[in-house]
Structure 1
Amino acid sequence: MDATPTAKAPEEQAPTPRFVVGSTMRHVLVMTGTGTAGLIAIFIVDLISLLYISWLKDPSMTAGVGLATVMMFFTISINVGLMIPIGALVSRALGARRREDARRLATSGCILMAIIATLVSLIILPLLPQILHMLGATEKTYLVARSFLWISLPTNVLMAFGMAFSTVLRAAGDAKRSMYATLSVAAVTIVVDPILIFGLGLKSDGAALTINLARLAYLYIGYRYVTRHHDLLARPNLRSIVADARPFFAIAVPAILTNIAAPVSSAFFTSIMSRFGDGAIAASAIIDRVTPVAFGGLFALAGAIGPVLGQNWGARRYDRMNQVLKDSLTFTIVYVGCVWALLYLVRVPLTLAFNAPDLTADLVQFFCQLSGPIWFFIGLVFVANASFNNLGFPLFSTFFNWGRATLGMIPFAYYGAQVGGPKGALLGIGVGSVAFGIAAIITAFWTIRRLERQAKAAH
């Protein structure tokens, strides 16, 4: 046998990927913590924008902005679905020490995401009258929502690029710079929002214009970080983009189908609440803003564990992949418990800050009292879906998200509204989450065991 050492391939000489060594809990906490800071900053900005609108003391305007954000939630959910293949493919390539593949995949993914985001805006804008009336918009709320969306939806492509660059940073393990890029949205909004809403008297249109400026900042800062600090973008090549479209959409299509379950169910819930007047719609709008701020850690956790799982799958560290899921469960229990206690304590001051009328205040306070158990089981679905999307089982993610958003929500919310009014509808949205949350997390552990068995059989 020839004892001459074999020269290492370039991939083997690459530096060790960040997430395949060290404490998995530390990686989960660092990635989730930085992601939470960035996400909550954006969600707080949305909350503050709605707070500013509520200070105009016009419930119809608050409701109109609320309806507009239901539609924006739909477009952002599609963008999040498009982020998932970028994170999965780039982190997997980096985990296997194939840097040039990672650069190519990052470039193709960013361009494909921008193209789809543009098409989504072009499809939705002409359909706004039908969609907003389906959501239960009255004459004034319709005018507010339509104007808001015609200003903000055309820049969805800027948001898509910014989110894509932020995902590339997280796939590379650079959670800090990804957070900084996201925080730029908050910084711009906090400064510009009051100037446009109050200073120039643009009201809700001022809030929409601020969104456009914030998205531009997000794109610019994310691009600078990706190119200057990581060099993870290559020169665009049409042949590469076409070739990479197949693995990209293999993950993106089920991920998008998964993600739009939430805005579809939110739209259904808004249509139910609209039967009880603008006060109930305003309550729904406030809840939609408070929820991501309060439970932003769960949204961040779902995005944070994807690159960690992806790199360890690339390195075939199945023991660490199992531990990542266990660490995520521990985080979910502790985080939801703390947030639930806090929401219960601030429920009255929260409604006072929004100048909420009686019905609106009553519904928001009721939500604060029951939010903990609901969001614990929703959190289990989030963690499981992150695992499915990054480990090659995206259809499972689609099944559990749509199952929870339809069978687990619609009949319960509808029946709850019939029996207990808007409070009954609020209670109904969470009941079905219990079974789907438990089933989803059990299935996530099973998929890792299956991947490990397949790897052993192949060798």
Structure 2
Amino acid sequence: MAEQAKFLEGSLLRHVTVMSLTASVGLMAIFVVDFVDMIFIGMLGQPALAAAVGYAGAILFFTTSFAIGMAIAAGALVARALGAGDAERARTVATNALVYGALVGVVFAVAVWLNLAPLVRLLGASGETETLAVSYLAIIVPTLPILMAAMVGGAILRAHGDARRAMMATIWGGVVNAALDPIFIFALGLGLNGAALASVAARITIAVMSLRPVVQVYDGIAPVRTGPLIRDASPVFAIALPAILTQLATPVGQAYVTRAMAEFGEQAVAGMAVVGRLTPVAFGVIFALSGAVGPIIGQNAGAGLTGRVRTAFRDALIFTAIVVVIVSSLLFLLRAPIAALFALEGEALALVYLFCGPLALVFFFNGGLFVANAAFNNLQHPYYSTWLNWGRHTLGTIPFVMLGAWALGAPGVLIGQAAGGVIFGTVALLLALRVIASEPGSPGPSPFQRMARHLSLFHSRPH
């Protein structure tokens, strides 16, 4: 299926741009709906609702990490198989990744659903806010297996180079969510639970719209057979487990940040909730980078084109820098209208203004970490992603947030979180350059790669 390995030729910067922009449009469709959710919920006039969404969002981020990890495994394995010209292998591993994703989704959804109240309390919620958050999560969490199928399906499409259909699946999910939100929240008077039900409908829509073209257009799903299913457990989970652990680091770090912010009251938590919804809307293109660049690196690595792997990595960083500068400028210009939209005041206003100012520029280092993770996952070093992400969200979060909170209050929480991101983003980029230099057929290390080689602390055997 040579025509499916579309990233083996042509401009890599163009591939990075097209894949990232199309993937981000789909992601932003969902993020925009989450953002609109916050507006609708704010219109209900109950401050506890916004805080409940903030607490629930941290736990949903945690559950979504499992879906992202399985999607990363599916995308990496399918892309490498296609790059090597083995379409049948691509079909088999896609099928088995879907099966394992569904099984993991069921097990984890049950575990979280049975412990919702303790988890919400662990984040610092109490009273009415705790009750609202648990009610909201009780509706959404059981649909984790559906989210697994949706995200794995999208990853398979991107591995085939079909960014448009992967994008449209999430756009349709966003349309369904946006249409049902006002109906469920206001017309039916369901409030926060209505927003949850709309999200469930969106997940079902995305799953259907992403898996249909995998089957109908690419014949990308093979019959499930016990032998291949058992054999693929090793390659699938060799990437999925570290990828899941990598993704889990983010909500764990965010949970700590949420708890630290809770010390400054519901205004601070509500402000952070707005920032949390605004960030993926503003930087949707950057959030899409890892999933977009992964298939490009994977196909070229599978074909042994290491020079193109290096160029794709470089072009992804150039693209990241351009996007961050443009978006940061827009956020700075629009900070007053954004604050007015949510009628923010006090601590919440200060946090949103801080994010729309200097902290937005620092997001380049988050983007660099995303690009580095894509390289690690597709070049058979997934545990590098795991260690770096956990480092970023523990050593790179807890002490910095503690110091920031002590010195500057609620704004210091966000500043401390950003400072840790700068350090670990830089380390990730240097280590990724070293990994690329070690690939067979590499044209040799650049000065930056030679610098990265000195980071022997992070050296380990390939996984």
Q: Secondary structure at the match of 2:334?
A: helix
Query: Contact conserved, 2:4 with 2:161, CA < 8 A, in 1?
Result: no
Match of 2:240 in 1: 252
SS of 2:38's equivalent?
A: helix
User: Is the contact made by 1:403 and 1:436 (CA closer than 8 Å) also made in structure 2?
Assistant: yes
Alpha-carbon distance, 1:239 to partner: 2.1
Aligned-partner residue type, residue 18 of structure 1: K
Q: Classify the secondary structure of the residue corresponding to 2:326.
A: helix
Greater displacement, 216-225 / 99-108: 216-225
**Residues of 2 paired with 1:368 and 1:261: CA distance?**
25
Letter of the structure 2 residue corresponding to residue 167 of structure 1: A
1:182 aligns with 2:170: yes
Whole-angstrom distance in 2 between the partners of 1:382 and 1:215: 24
Name which of 52, 61, 72 aligns with 1:64: 52
Q: Give the match's secondary structure for 2:288.
A: helix
CA distance in 2, matches of 1:16, 1:335: 28
Q: What is the alpha-carbon distance in structure 1 between the residues aligned to residue 360 and residue 265 of structure 2? A: 27
Q: Show the 5 A alignment for 1:48-447.
A: 48-447=36-435
Q: TM-score, length-normalised on structure 1?
A: 0.94
Report Cα offsets for 1:6-48 as digits up to 9, x if no partner: xxxxx7xx44620001111111111111001001111111111
Encode CA deviations 1:297-355: one digit per residue, 9 max, x unaligned. 11111110100011001111011000001101110111000111111111121121112
Could you say what the CA RMSD is over the residues aligned between the two structures, in angstroms?
A: 1.4
Which 4+ residue blocks in structure 1 deviate beyond 3 angstroms? 453-456
1:186 corresponds to which letter in structure 2? G
Q: TM-score, normalised by structure 2?
A: 0.94
8 A contact 1:19–1:308 mirrored in 2: yes
Question: 1:32, 1:301 within 8 Å by CA — same for their partners in 2?
Answer: yes
- Alignment length (residue pairs): 444
The residue matched to 1:356 in structure 2 has which SS? coil
Is the contact between residue 105 and residue 148 of structure 2 (CA under 8 Å) also seen in structure 1? yes
Q: Distance in 2 between matches of 1:415 and 1:454?
A: 43
**1:387-425: per-residue Cα shift (whole Å, max 9, x none)?**
001110111111111111111111011111112110111
**Structure 1 residues 296 and 16, CA, compared in 2 at 3 Å: closer, same or farther?**
closer
CA distance, structure 2, for counterparts of residue 455 and residue 117 of structure 1: 42
C-alpha distance in 1 between matches for 2:171 and 2:151: 12
Residue by residue over 1:25-72, the C-alpha shift from the partner in whole angstroms, topping out at 9 and shown as x without a partner, is 111111111001001111111111111101112111110111111111
Q: Distance in 2 between matches of 1:302 and 1:449?
A: 20
Q: Is the 8 A contact 1:408 1:436 kept in 2?
A: yes
Instruction: Give the Cα separation in 2 of the matches to 1:258 and 1:149.
Output: 23
Identity %: 41
Question: Within 2, Cα distance between the matches of 1:307 and 1:192?
Answer: 34
Partner-residue secondary structure (3-state), 1:260: helix
The one-letter amino acid paired with 1:98 is D
